[in-house]
Amino acid sequence: MIKSYKLQRTIADVVIYVFLAVLGIIWVSPLIWLVFHSFRAEGGVTVPYVFPKEYTLDNYKLLFTNTDTFDYPRWFLNTFVVAVFSCIISTLSVLMVSYTFSRLRFKSRKMFINIGMVLGMFPGFMTMIALYYLLKAMNLTQTLPALVICYSAGAGLGFAISKGFFDTIPRALDEAATIDGATRNQIFWKIILPMSKPILVYTILTAFIGPWCDFILVKIIMGDKRENYTVAVGLQKMVDREYKQAYFKQFLSGSVLVAIPITILFLKMQNYYVEGVTAGGVKG
């Protein structure tokens, strides 16, 4: 009986691992193809084989030297600047709103939490046309500050996970600090925030990834002002019909480069990221 159970368990484990391995290969194969073909020397858009026959670094060199038509270094810098400023503002906004809802008790608190949760359920693209006309009225269209404003202005609505994390921190710490004469501001910056590294990392990562990968909002706001494009819009321009044949391999190289910062961030901070998500799921 025991041997039969162990055999069944072993067979089930083998089937599960084989299934997961197949899914993993399917998921990773496009990324492997992208990396290998970013070094491809021969052909244009497509070649009739999986792995290139000749390799070269010219595709990467041309991204940074041939900038007359597509200024990839400028786009990369635009993306980095917008992502960093949006990340800083969004992180501070989310954490302060979350701490306020977690610790303070004031009139209409529940109402504001419910309103924030409901508004956060609506997809962002529903407001893009309205945002465009508001920015146009302020003469901010086709500018990088407009992107920072759009990405960070409503960031506080994403307070749910951070609030759940703050709810797990004992209130006795706040009370002890208050007895010692600390203000709410001092408690937040000097006591709560240093203890909240997991949720801080999670918030930074999510606030950075959004602007780094976004395409639709940049496309609407920037229009045809190519020098203010971010990498996502610039790479899409490379595969337009009139440019695709000449710039497809540079498009692949640019796609690899833009993935490197995000990959490094996740590899360095993945433990804190997971801890922040799981701890933030506590109901409070």
pTM metric for this prediction:
0.84
Q: Domain boundaries in the chain?
A: 2-58, 69-279
pLDDT digits (tens, 9 = 90+) for 8-42: 888 888 899 999 999 999 999 989 999 998 898 88
**Helix, strand, or coil (residue 22):** helix
58, 86, 160, 165, 280 from 283: Cα distances, Å: 53, 28, 9, 9, 8
Q: Which fold has domain 69-279?
A: MetI-like fold (1.10.3720)
Per the DSSP assignment, residues forming a β-bridge with 55 are 40
Distance CA 174, CA 55 (A): 60
Q: For residues 211-238, b (16+ Cβ closer than 10 Å) or e, as one string? A: bbebeebbbbbbeeeeebbbbbbbbebb
Distance CA 86, CA 204 (A): 10
pLDDT digits (tens, 9 = 90+) for 119-161: 877 777 778 888 888 888 989 888 999 999 989 888 888 888 8
